[in-house]
Amino acid sequence: MTSRKRTPSALIRTNQYIPATPTPKQTIFLRRTEREGFYGGSARGGKTVALLMAALQYVDVPGYSALLLRRTYADLALPRALIDLADEWLRGTDAHWDDETHTWTFPSGATLTFGYLDSEKDKYRYQGTAFQFIGFDELTQFTETQYQYLFSRLVRPEGSTLPIRMRCTSNPGGTGHAWVKQRFIKGVKEDRVFVPAGLRDNPHVDQAEYIRSLDNLDHITRAQLLNGDWDISGEGTLFKRQWFEVVEAYPKDAKNVRYWDLASSKDKGDYTAGAKVAEKSGIFYLVHMHNVQESPGAVQDLIRQTAAVDGIAVQIGIEEEGGASGKIVSDHYARDVLKGFAFTPYRNTGDKVTRAKLWSSAAEHGNFKLVQGPWIESFLDQVAAFPETEHDDMVDAVSGAFVMLTEKRSDSSRFRIVASR
């Protein structure tokens, strides 16, 4: 339970509904008077707490209305997210919660409402409403048009002295990264302010332990979350050539899989890639790679021959395209091409970059090695240029093999490729 220690009124406007003492960076954010304010920029900087504090500053004033938004209602209701934190602070006070409207009402008549903008048209749910405070938590998950439209809901009664405020928090990354960066990081104007804050500004978090947790992420996401780096992007290079140690052999008792990323069309210059990857004790080895431009019949022959060479102990995965045609191809491989081998079709979910991030972290930490072979140079050329390279078939094949080796150990919050049954 959060302590109900009062914030000194000499620093910021406060009331009995704000029990937490703000950090120095949160205090700066709460004192700003600009119409637009953006707080955070990296993970664990106390963004949610700062946003809720800001929304509650005037709930003792009659006529005040505040709206706090996440992209989905599920995001609002997560543990330690906005609704949960507000309940911790306000339960036991004289404020009243309405579960149907997701609104706290205060003795002054002021309200604090929680809402969401799951789709673009959801912004019209707020037509006819009026708020003096609107807060977006994790702004990069929203579109620019959603954000801009909500300005039309910032209204105060004639003669009121309540401040009109739009307040936001977020980290770099996400679908709205570019427009948020342009608006708040690169294009700050007179009535708009950015208050950067991160892990080192939050004394309430075990910083060393959280940094160790971030070490499991790819270097792009880690730089965004830890350092608040708005210039590094998932659209840039995800791998570095020097991360991949070349070895002569790999443990013979390692688990082996072979994953095939099938070309959609030879005529379009597409390649079929088949990656054999092994794993033991958390170390991964790219053992062999096929990367060919062939007709469907020749590809089937290659896959059947490779399965015979690999042996029946090696599990085989093949990407299954969406729709009925994908299932027809998978059934054909199961009945006619790979009969007698351990074969499972996999339906990809998520984009190529997201899938590759799963093994980017292993590569960066020296846990993804290449077994000596003639394909290594072309693989390194492709992986180092990904995702800007023209062809990414080998990267996709390794992504599929990595999931085959790790999916049973993956938790539900990670991206995964789901096996078709």
Highest mean pLDDT pick, 57-71, 219-233, 312-326: 57-71
Model confidence over 251-303: pLDDT tens digits?
999 999 999 998 866 555 678 999 999 999 999 999 999 999 888 889 999 99
Q: Is the pTM above the cut of 0.75?
A: no
13: left (phi over 0), alpha (psi -120 to 50) or beta: beta
Q: Does residue 355 have a pLDDT over 70?
A: yes
Q: Does residue 18 have a pLDDT over 60?
A: yes
Give the full edge-to-edge strand order of the sheet including 96-98. 96-98, 103-105, 111-116, 65-70, 133-136, 165-170, 36-41, 192-197
Q: Does residue 8 have a pLDDT over 70?
A: no
pLDDT, position 4: 40
Task: Indicate the range of 104-108, 199-203, 304-308 predicted with least confidence.
Answer: 199-203
pLDDT grade, residue 160 (50/70/90)? very high
**Structural domain boundaries in the chain:** 24-227, 241-419
320 contacts 420 by C-beta, under 8 angstroms: yes
pLDDT grade, residue 417 (50/70/90)? very low
Task: Indicate the range of 142-146, 368-372, 413-417 predicted with least confidence.
Answer: 413-417
User: Cα–Cα distance between 307 and 334 in angstroms, integer?
Assistant: 12
pLDDT grade, residue 201 (50/70/90)? low
Model confidence over 23-46: pLDDT tens digits?
999 999 999 999 999 998 766 668
Which residues are within 8 A (CB) of 319 and not within 5 positions of it... i.e. 6 or more apart? 259, 260, 261, 262, 345, 346, 348, 396, 400
From the number of C-beta atoms within 10 Å of its C-beta (0-12, 13-18, 19+), residue 13 rates as middle
215 contacts 339 by C-beta, under 8 angstroms: no
Q: Does residue 198 have a pLDDT over 90?
A: no
User: Mean pLDDT throughout 214-233?
Assistant: 73
User: Cα–Cα distance between 58 and 68 in angstroms, integer?
Assistant: 14
Fold held by 241-419: Nucleotidyltransferase; domain 5 (3.30.420)
Rounded alpha-carbon distances, angstroms, from residue 40 to 127, 148, 195, 197, 231: 29, 20, 6, 4, 15
Pick the CATH number of 24-227 from 3.40.30.10, 1.10.10.10, 3.40.50.300, 3.30.2350.10: 3.40.50.300
3 state SS for 177-241: HHHHHHHHHHCCCCCEEEEEECHHHCCCCCHHHHHHHHCCCCHHHHHHHHHCCCCCCCCCCCCCH
- How large is the C-alpha radius of gyration of the chain? 26
User: Mean pLDDT throughout 179-204?
Assistant: 82
The count of other CB atoms within 10 Å of the CB of residue 282 is 10
User: Mean pLDDT throughout 393-398?
Assistant: 94
Which residues are within 8 A (CB) of 303 and not within 5 positions of it... i.e. 6 or more apart? 260, 274, 316, 318, 333, 337, 338
HSE toward the beta carbon, residue 352, CA cutoff 13 A: 17
What's the whole-number average pLDDT of the chain? Answer: 86
Task: Indicate the range of 167-181, 364-378, 400-414 predicted with least confidence.
Answer: 400-414
Residue (of 180, 176, 199) closest to 188 by Cα position: 180
Which residues are within 8 A (CB) of 389 and not within 5 positions of it... i.e. 6 or more apart? 381, 382
**Position of tokens 């990081």?**
185
User: Cα–Cα distance between 270 and 390 in angstroms, integer?
Assistant: 10
For residue 319, give both structure tokens.
């990407």
From the number of C-beta atoms within 10 Å of its C-beta (0-12, 13-18, 19+), residue 396 rates as buried
Higher local confidence (pLDDT), 147 or 205: 147
